[in-house]
Amino acid sequence: MVVSILQRFIFPPPNSLFVTAMSVISFTSLAYTGFSEVRGRHLQYSKFWNVISPESGTRREGKQIKLSSRTGMLLLYTPAFLAGLTSFVIFPHQDLRLLLLDSALTLHFFKRIFEVLFVHKYGGSMVLDSAIPITLSYFLSTATMIYAQHLTQGVPEPPVDLMYPGVLLFLIGISGNFYHHFLLSKLRRGEGDKEYRIPKGGLFDLVLCPHYLFEIIDFIGISFISQTWYTFSFTLGTVFYLMGRSYATRRWYFSKFEDFSKDVKALIPCVF
């Protein structure tokens, strides 16, 4: 029953061991990383770049290779951006769905690089041990989304076409994400300012991580454009990761600001 409903919205699973394995690996690794965030084991960037690991009970900062946030973030996003860009050359006669997916992914990572260079005002650092798995995850997932889409060429379309609603959701997601990144950058008074302040404006009065919420909408849009099992499993994994990270972020705000309002949720207004 559930499978027959899903078949109305998703292309049949591809005959590819690589894509099938990646669907399982991406979902489980992202969901597990989100669960680890809740348990206090953080990917070490932004607010959590030098946190104490509950296992070791020691500050890990001294033992690990540290990058500036800007360098680290560029390392994270550039390979995925290049994977998107290269695919226009590798698959030159693309159907509309593949063309839209390539364009959305390339634009998504181009925007990230633009923000790293011109919008964000970073106060922290990034640990190389965290940067490497994130870089690999973005690069491999982008390449796999495009490859999985390529494998649908010539396969009958799912009965329900979500491609154009997907474009709309993607545009809402990427714009909302950018707007809230802009609001965050306004909290810093200059390049050297590393202070954290309570964010205001946009959806920040309702949730602490509206930029994550719009990131999820962006990826739901990409899944709708694509309608492959791989993009849906990656997006679901991303939802679990960002739920975990936003939960940890909210806990961090409560520990830092005494008068912090309990009405401000982590990710979904009034709910979570």
Ligand X SMILES: NC(=O)c1ccc[n+]([C@@H]2O[C@H](COP(=O)([O-])OP(=O)(O)OC[C@H]3O[C@@H](n4cnc5c(N)ncnc54)[C@H](OP(=O)(O)O)[C@@H]3O)[C@@H](O)[C@H]2O)c1
Q: Which is nearer to ligand X, 226 or 238 (CB)?
A: 238
242: three-class secondary structure by DSSP: helix
Measured CA to CA, the distance from residue 55 to residue 170 in angstroms comes to 39
Q: Which is nearer to ligand X, 19 or 67 (CB)?
A: 67
Give the nearest distance from C-beta 174 to ligand X in angstroms.
9
Contacts of 239 (CB under 8 A, 6+ apart): 216
Give the nearest distance from C-beta 211 to ligand X in angstroms.
3
Measured CA to CA, the distance from residue 102 to residue 87 in angstroms comes to 7
Beta bridge partners of 59: 52
Q: Is 154 left (phi over 0), alpha (psi -120 to 50) or beta?
A: left
Give the nearest distance from C-beta 141 to ligand X in angstroms.
9
Q: Which is nearer to ligand X, 184 or 236 (CB)?
A: 184
CA distances from 53 to 43, 118, 223, 263 (A): 10, 32, 34, 29
Measured CA to CA, the distance from residue 5 to residue 94 in angstroms comes to 28
Give the nearest distance from C-beta 212 to ligand X in angstroms.
6
Q: Which is nearer to ligand X, 69 or 149 (CB)?
A: 69
Q: Which is nearer to ligand X, 151 or 198 (CB)?
A: 198
Give the nearest distance from C-beta 259 to ligand X in angstroms.
14
Q: Dihedral angle at the C-alpha atoms of 221, 222, 223, 226, nearest 10 degrees?
A: 120
Give the nearest distance from C-beta 231 to ligand X in angstroms.
12
Closest to 161 in 3D by CA, of 235, 99, 233, 227? 227
Contacts of 84 (CB under 8 A, 6+ apart): 102, 105, 106, 108, 109, 142, 146
Measured CA to CA, the distance from residue 170 to residue 219 in angstroms comes to 7
Give the nearest distance from C-beta 134 to ligand X in angstroms.
8
Give the nearest distance from C-beta 119 to ligand X in angstroms.
8
CA 30 and chain centroid, separation: 10
Locate tokens 């997932």: which residue? 141
Which residues lie near ligand X (CB under 6 A)?
46-47, 69, 120-124, 177, 184, 187-188, 196-197, 199, 211-212, 215, 238, 241-242
CB-CB contact of 78 with 70 (8 Å): no
Q: Which is nearer to ligand X, 147 or 204 (CB)?
A: 204
Measured from each CB, the residue nearest to ligand X is 123
Q: Which is nearer to ligand X, 59 or 194 (CB)?
A: 194
Residue type, 269: P
Q: Which is nearer to ligand X, 211 or 250 (CB)?
A: 211
